[in-house]
Amino acid sequence: MRPVRERIAPRRMEAAFSVFQGARLTCVARVATHYDRHTATTVAATPHSGDQYTMFSHVMLGASDLEKSKQFYDALLGTLGCKPGFTDPKGRTFWRHAGNTFAITAPINGEPACHGNGTTTGFAAASPEQADAAHAAGLAAGGVTCEDPPGWRGEGAGRMYLAYLRDPAGNKLCLLHRPAKAA
């Protein structure tokens, strides 16, 4: 009998909330392969909206001052190519861009919104200049810079341009540009 590892090989999945595909918020669930128990074969899996390999459906952050936060995100996300957010009857504001959804809401328990310690929400930038423009727009709209100044970090394949700030509710954000891979 084959070892259990060969009979029921777990799917190998690298999943990351990645916001680094042009100027859009995106979720990337890169699935190398998975083992299909029913056919006893290893198959390549292609992630798409709604399938079992999609990691995120949306990102929603809490905000106590929804109007101030909407103005902030309209400015910041607008520099990334996103249209202004729309507010639903429940007071939640949504931005939809390139098949992805980002939202803000007041906490449903009535408590004040607070940021997560160690939490960062990242947004893609098509270039360092776009990251800088979004960072500047966020600061002008009530955000506060944090971390190191915007700039390049890392080396080789891991090199990226990062610009960090906090929104009016204190949520930590990152604007990130990854250069194209060398051919």
Domain ranges of the chain: 4-43, 59-177
Query: Torsion angle, CA of 71/72/75/79, rounded to 10 degrees?
Result: -150
pLDDT value of position 12: 27
- 181 or 128: which carries more pLDDT confidence? 128
Mean pLDDT of 102-121: 92
How many angstroms separate the first and last alpha carbons of the chain?
Answer: 44
- pLDDT by residue (tens digit) across 126-139? 999 999 999 999 99
pLDDT of 180: 87
What is the average pLDDT across 95-116? 92
Is residue 112 within 8 Å of residue 168, measured between CB atoms? no
Cβ atoms of 34 and 42 within 8 Å: the answer is: yes
Q: Please, what is the average pLDDT of the chain? A: 77
Q: Which residue in this structure is represented by tokens 């940021």?
A: 115
Task: Return the pLDDT at 57.
Answer: 84
Stretch 118-124: mean pLDDT:
93
Q: Is 112 left (phi over 0), alpha (psi -120 to 50) or beta?
A: beta
Give one word for 170, left, alpha or beta, with left for phi > 0 and alpha for psi -120 to 50: left
Task: Give the residue-averaged pLDDT of 50-63.
Answer: 76
Per-residue model confidence (pLDDT) at position 55: 75
- Binning pLDDT at 50, 70 and 90, where does residue 183 land? low
Q: What average pLDDT does the segment 17-46 reach?
A: 35
- Tell the CATH topology of 59-177: 2,3-Dihydroxybiphenyl 1,2-Dioxygenase; domain 1 (3.10.180)
Q: Is the pLDDT of residue 69 over 50?
A: yes
